[in-house]
């Protein structure tokens, strides 16, 4: 049984949250609670201007730890809070990161506790002091974000290895609309969790199909299935966390695009199996996850207008024809163009035996046997990973945790 323990948490991670002056600071208590809920310990350090927007008392209450503001704070025994505070941190997260703070750090300027701490940041790894990772979440007016000086700061920060999350586009406190809005706490949480995931698929292009397809009978009726798309979207999120560039081809579902703010995911919405086949066939990739529950048949005699029901009329006769087999088509590509194909099979009986037969028939290296239909639409799942070496059950748990296990097992086979 493959283990999924702590696949979706920040268990035992120590995060130093730096808060700078900006109206978006009002979101930070919610962010602290979200990080703690995922298992992290959060130490807050604020600039003096940040205290104009949210109080240290509030942040101390939600974090359970004292909040630091001054580099002269005598609660640190050696008088060096700018050194000591980062030494046991796994990550320094600046949210919100103002234009002023980003510019200062990009130039190596330091005149308060938080800016000095970021320059002196380090944490102990195997007895040695190494740079503590630094993530900034920009938040400012759209004109401030678009200003050439801010963009120069961004270039310098990225060149120096600082990770930026966002900003997003949307309504701002000033009443304007545009880029510069800080990500919401749940998005920052997703970004932090993704930051800690091993980059097992870095540099690879991953194509994923997800959800059901819908085959119209007439303009208001159609044939579909019970797929919610949740497993495919979880695979997409796990692949993004692992450093891949993801193209997500989705049937009709209402799920939000995973980690959209990273800019590394391209989503194409389709309806029918033929539409999905067209997109997949024209999307080069290194890895193909065929997760979608594609309709086996389409309606050959589709009607242009709604079929009317009358008391004299018998039931309409529907003519079916086979849809293209997307997975088999991609798996039969020429050797030079063929991606590593991972199929999914939802069975109601003899799950592993039928899935192994399907893997061999379609000539693919890996197949995931979905223990459906009881898990359709649910947030949890139970699967088995099947390849030429055997059958490897994964314990029932959250679909994202399972997706991370699948990605890790895939990486072992791609890059032994």
Catalytic residues: 174
Q: Is 325 annotated as belonging to a binding site? A: yes
- Within 10 angstroms of residue 17's Cβ, the number of other Cβ atoms is 24
Q: Is 13 annotated as belonging to a binding site? A: no
Please state, in angstroms and rounded to a whole number, the distance separating the CA atoms of residues 390 and 385. Answer: 8
SS3 content of the chain, % helix, strand, coil (to 5): 30, 25, 40
The kind and range of the H/E element at 141 are none
CA 14 to mean position of chain CA atoms = 21
C-alpha Rg value of the chain to the nearest Å: 25
Q: Is 88 annotated as belonging to a binding site? A: no
The kind and range of the H/E element at 384 are strand 380-387
Please state, in angstroms and rounded to a whole number, the distance separating the CA atoms of residues 344 and 361. Answer: 13
Q: Helix, strand, or coil here: 286?
A: coil
Please state, in angstroms and rounded to a whole number, the distance separating the CA atoms of residues 88 and 85. Answer: 7
Q: Measuring CA to CA, how many Å separate 33 from each of 134, 191, 194, 223?
A: 20, 15, 18, 44
Burial grade of 76 (CB within 10 A; 0-12, 13-18, 19 or more): middle
Please state, in angstroms and rounded to a whole number, the distance separating the CA atoms of residues 329 and 327. Answer: 5
Find all residues with CB under 8 Å of 315, minimum gap 6, and list them: none
What is the DSSP track for 186-226?
Answer: HHHHHHHHHHHS--TTTT-EEEEEESB--EEEETTEEE---
Q: Helix, strand, or coil here: 394?
A: strand
Q: Is 306 annotated as belonging to a binding site? A: yes
Q: Is 335 annotated as belonging to a binding site? A: no
| Residue ranges of the binding site for CTP | 296, 306, 324-327, 344, 358, 362
Where is the binding site, in residues? 296, 306, 324-327, 344, 358, 362
């Amino acid at each position: 049984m493959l283990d999924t323990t702590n696949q979706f948490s920040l268990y035992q991670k120590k995060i130093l949250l730096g808060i700078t002056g900006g109206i978006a600071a009002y979101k930070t208590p919610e962010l602290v609670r979200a990080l703690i809920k995922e298992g992290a310990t959060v130490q807050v350090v604020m600039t003096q201007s940040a205290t104009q927007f949210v109080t240290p008392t509030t942040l101390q209450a939600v974090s359970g730890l004292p909040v630091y503001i001054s580099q002269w704070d005598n609660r640190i025994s050696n008088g060096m809070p700018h050194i000591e505070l980062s030494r046991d941190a796994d990550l320094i997260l600046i949210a919100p990161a103002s234009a002023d703070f980003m510019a200062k750090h990009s130039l190596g300027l330091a005149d308060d506790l938080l800016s000095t701490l970021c320059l002196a940041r380090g944490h102990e790894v195997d007895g040695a002091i190494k740079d503590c990772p630094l993530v900034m979440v920009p938040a400012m007016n759209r004109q401030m974000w678009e200003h050439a000086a801010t963009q120069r700061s961004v270039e310098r920060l990225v060149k120096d290895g600082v990770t930026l999350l966002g900003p997003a586009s949307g309504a701002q406190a000033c009443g304007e609309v545009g880029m510069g809005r800080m990500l919401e706490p749940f998005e920052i949480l997703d970004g932090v969790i993704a930051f800690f995931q091993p980059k097992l698929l870095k540099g690879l292009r991953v194509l994923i199909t997800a959800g059901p397809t819908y085959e119209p009978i007439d303009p208001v009726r159609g044939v579909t299935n019970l797929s919610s798309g949740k497993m495919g979207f979880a695979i997409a999120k796990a692949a993004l966390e692992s450093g891949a560039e993801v193209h997500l081809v989705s049937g009709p579902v209402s799920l939000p695009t995973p980690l959209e703010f990273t800019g590394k995911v391209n989503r194409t919405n389709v309806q029918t199996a033929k539409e999905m086949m067209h997109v997949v066939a024209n999307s080069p990739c290194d890895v193909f996850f065929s997760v979608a529950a594609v309709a086996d048949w389409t309606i050959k005699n589709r009607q242009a207008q709604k079929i009317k029901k009358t008391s004299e009329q018998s039931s309409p006769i529907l003519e079916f024809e086979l849809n293209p087999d997307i997975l088999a088509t991609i798996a039969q590509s020429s050797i030079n163009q063929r991606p590593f194909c991972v199929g999914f099979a939802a069975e109601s009986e003899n799950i592993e035996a039928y899935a192994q037969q399907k893997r061999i028939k379609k000539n693919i290296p890996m197949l995931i046997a979905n223990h459906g239909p009881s898990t359709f639409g649910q947030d949890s799942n139970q699967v088995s990973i099947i390849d030429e070496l055997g059958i490897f059950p994964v314990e029932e748990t959250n679909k994202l945790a399972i997706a991370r296990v699948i990605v890790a097992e895939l990486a072992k086979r791609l890059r032994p």
